[in-house]
Amino acid sequence: MTSFESAPLAGRRIAVLMGGLSPEREVSLVSGRAYAQSLARMGAEVIEIDAGRDIAQALTAVRPDLVLNALHGAWGEDGCVQGVLETLGLPYTHSGVLASALAMDKAKSKAVLAAAGIRVPGGGLFNRHEAARDHVLAPPYVVKPNAQGSSVGVFIVKDGANRPPQELAASDWTLGEEVMIEPFIPGKELTVAVLGAKALAVTDIVPRTGHYDYEAKYGEGGSIHVIPAQIPDHVTEAALRMAERAHDALGCRGLTRSDFRYDGVNDDLVLLEVNTQPGFTPTSLAPEQAAYVGMDFDRLVLWIVEDAGCPR
């Protein structure tokens, strides 16, 4: 139920982009529907658009006042759709072209974050076939596509593994010819949402599957979210400030979520990546953090809508 006595978005015509072309399509559909339901509760006229390559024509036909971008993954989160929206001159939510492209490219975002003094993992980019033939780093290490989200195509190569993931050399691999390979960082999986320029909270994600994979992120009961994270105060403060600095360094707008690993044994906090369009599923972390600081779901959506603009 909405927390508003009136309808703050009455008379606004809002297109919600969802679905799309990436492997994260199904998650995006869930996020988009949650956004759409919230907008409708607040009185908006909502047009749900399952985004395809005819997105410019679809938006021109419906002529919205603004666009809420609920797309996840390649094409919807990497600057491509943002460029279309800029060309059409439509106000839209979340980050703009450059910030979206930078954050989605793990190698380039790591370079920008490191230059800003933020601790990021080592490792680098490797051809997938080379990475499938032999260990390019000493195990344990993590293999992930350079430009995907939602833990799609991620492999944890454990200490003592005889060979790398053979899936990397498969003929049906569609996640890019180069993969990011990083040393595995033990410890806690932490995340911090940033709204505007302010970090909200630190959540400790405890996956039931052993690591924070796709099922742990989106499956019912796939993980436990501990908020606030039970970590030393100085680590909480460091994570909050690092998330804000990362948001700023990449030029992000609106809502982002930064993911960390914290090795409590060595007191080592490392920023893994910045997500420019965090999920809005029933298990999503950013709405939980907003609620924790006193902003319910509809008020969070209203903030995101009011922050929309063009150019971004």
Give yes or no: 266 in active site. no
Task: Please confirm, yes or no, whether 218 is among the known catalytic residues.
Answer: yes
For residue 212, indicate whether it is catalytic. Answer: no
Out of 123, 149, 279, 312, the active site residue is: 279
Residue 199, token pair as written in the block: 């970090």
Residue whose structure tokens are 């922050």: 307
Measured in whole angstroms, the distance separating CA 222 from the mean position of its chain's CA atoms is 18
Active site residue 245: no
Residue 24 appears among annotated catalytic residues: yes
What CA–CA distances, in Å, run from 36 to 178, 187, 243? 36, 37, 28
220: annotated active-site residue: no
- SS3 letters for the chain? CCCCCCCCCCCCEEEEEECCCCCCHHHHHHHHHHHHHHHHHCCCEEEEEECCCCHHHHHHHHCCCEEEECCCCCCCCCCHHHHHHHHHCCCECCCCHHHHHHHHCHHHHHHHHHHCCCCCCCCEEEEHHHHHHCCCCCCCEEEEECCCCCCCCCEEECCCCCCCCHHHHCCCCCCCCEEEEEECCCCEEEEEEEECCEEEEEEEEEECCCCCCHHHHHCCCCEEEECCCCCCHHHHHHHHHHHHHHHHHCCCCCEEEEEEEEECCCCEEEEEEEECCCCCCCCCHHHHHHHHCCCCHHHHHHHHHHCCECCC
Q: Residues 178, 244, 273, 298: which is the catalytic one? A: 273
Question: Of 95, 218, 244, 262, which one is the catalytic site residue?
Answer: 218
Catalytic annotation on 257? Answer: yes
Which of 31, 95, 275, 284 is flagged as catalytic? 275
Catalytic annotation on 288?
no
Q: Which of 38, 150, 258, 284 is catalytic?
A: 150
* Per annotation, catalytic residue among 24, 78, 204, 244: 24
Cα distances (angstroms) measured from residue 103 to each of 99, 100, 296: 6, 5, 27
Q: Which residues are catalytic?
A: 24, 150, 218, 257, 259, 273, 275, 279
